[in-house]
């Protein structure tokens, strides 16, 4: 008795690019072509993550006839948003068989420091907070550096994470030595890609005035009758100090000849 095997005819849809997962950032654009080399190709169509057919030729996500005519349909994405993520499926009847091919669209939201102040202040002698507001999808991991040295954050120590936002740094009992250049580093990680971005923050310390140690301090100055002498008062402060001169407990105005 002769055995005859009846194999299903090869009826495939080809996606180009052929990746089963496409990873894009918010605002990106791209397209995927879907076509078949079958003899009888009918009803080529795309459906979105909600299961509804994509039929428009003009929208932000739209279709266009493929280069092979009725054998294919291309799907186009412009200005991608987070809501576009999901599974997209191309289906058709090819040589009497219902076939389909799909890809998963994964959307990343780029790292954004837009509401992080580039210049921040600590208060001398007080616990103060440095802010790094980071946005992105996937949610970024954040680390800090001070003058190019990694900050070790530990509860109860000089530097610790803020209880309300782990991306913020609490500086205990701030001193003038805590000023400098701080760097907030954000890293996005996924199974197939990673993104790193940094943001520099100039940190100053608000403090009361004190004498400038680099200046010569003169307690007495001499002149002669009708002569001129220059008296200089210098101090370091943040914000800058306002100076007032007094003579015999009376304020000296700038227009007076003392």
Q: Report residue 61: phi and psi, to 5°.
A: -110, 115
CATH number, position 167: 2.60.40.10
Please write the tens of the pLDDT for every residue from 156-196: 899 999 999 999 999 999 999 999 999 999 999 887 778 99
Most confident of 100-109, 209-218, 226-235: 100-109
The answer to whether residues 76 and 93 belong to one domain is: yes
> Of 109, 125, 148, which closes a domain?
109
The answer to whether residues 125 and 152 belong to one domain is: yes
Q: Is residue 8 part of a domain?
A: no
Name the pLDDT band for 39 (thresholds 50, 70, 90).
Answer: confident
Taking alpha carbons only, the member of 178, 177, 241 closest to residue 209 is 241
The count of C-alpha atoms lying within 13 angstroms of the C-alpha of 7, restricted to the half-sphere facing its C-beta, is 3
What is the residue range of 74's domain?
A: 14-109
The answer to whether residues 134 and 101 belong to one domain is: no
The answer to whether residues 176 and 99 belong to one domain is: no
The answer to whether residues 25 and 55 belong to one domain is: yes
The Cβ of residue 105 has, within 10 Å, a number of other Cβ atoms equal to 19
The answer to whether residues 80 and 144 belong to one domain is: no
pLDDT of 64 > 90? The answer is yes
Name the average pLDDT for the chain.
86
The answer to whether residues 156 and 125 belong to one domain is: yes
**149 by DSSP, 3-state: which?**
strand
Please write the tens of the pLDDT for every residue from 216-247: 666 666 666 766 766 666 656 566 667 677 77
Strand partners, 14: 35
> Of 86, 109, 132, which closes a domain?
109
The Cβ of residue 240 has, within 10 Å, a number of other Cβ atoms equal to 9
What HEC string does 153-220 produce? CCCCCCEEECCCCCCCEEECCCCHHHCEEEEEEEEEECCCCEEEEEEEEEEEEEEEEEECCCCCCCCC
The answer to whether residues 82 and 148 belong to one domain is: no
Q: Is residue 247 part of a domain?
A: no
Taking alpha carbons only, the member of 34, 105, 99 closest to residue 72 is 34
The answer to whether residues 129 and 82 belong to one domain is: no
Q: Is residue 97 part of a domain?
A: yes
Q: Is residue 41 part of a domain?
A: yes
The answer to whether residues 147 and 174 belong to one domain is: yes
Q: Is residue 239 part of a domain?
A: no
Q: Is residue 218 part of a domain?
A: no
The answer to whether residues 78 and 126 belong to one domain is: no
State the total domains in the chain. 2
Q: Is residue 128 part of a domain?
A: yes
What pLDDT shows up at residue 130? 98
Q: Which residue has the tokens 């900050």?
A: 151
> Of 62, 89, 109, which closes a domain?
109
CA distance 173 to 163: 17
């Amino acid at each position: 008795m002769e055995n005859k095997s009846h194999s299903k005819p090869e009826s495939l849809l080809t996606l180009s690019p052929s990746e089963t997962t496409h990873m894009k950032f918010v605002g990106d654009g791209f397209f995927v072509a879907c076509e078949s080399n079958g003899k009888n190709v009918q009803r080529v169509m795309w459906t979105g993550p909600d299961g509804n057919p994509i039929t428009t030729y003009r929208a932000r996500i739209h279709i266009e006839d493929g280069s092979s005519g009725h054998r294919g349909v291309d799907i186009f994405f412009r200005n991608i948003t987070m809501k576009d993520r999901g599974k997209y499926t191309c289906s058709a009847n090819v040589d009497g068989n219902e076939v389909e091919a799909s890809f998963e669209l994964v959307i990343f939201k780029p790292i954004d420091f837009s509401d992080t102040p580039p210049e921040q202040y600590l208060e001398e002698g007080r616990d103060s907070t440095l802010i790094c507001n980071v946005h992105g999808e996937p949610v970024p991991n954040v680390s800090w550096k001070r003058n190019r040295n990694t900050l070790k954050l530990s509860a109860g120590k000089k530097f610790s994470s803020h209880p309300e936002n782990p991306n913020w740094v609490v500086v205990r009992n701030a001193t003038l030595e805590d000023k400098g250049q701080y760097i907030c580093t954000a890293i996005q990680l996924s199974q197939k890609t990673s993104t790193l971005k940094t943001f520099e923050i100039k940190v100053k310390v608000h403090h009361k005035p004190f004498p400038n140690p680099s200046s010569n301090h003169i307690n007495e100055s001499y002149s002669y009758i009708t002569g001129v002498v220059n008296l200089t008062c210098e101090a370091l402060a943040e914000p800058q100090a306002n100076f007032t001169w007094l003579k015999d407990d009376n304020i000296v105005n700038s227009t007076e000849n003392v």
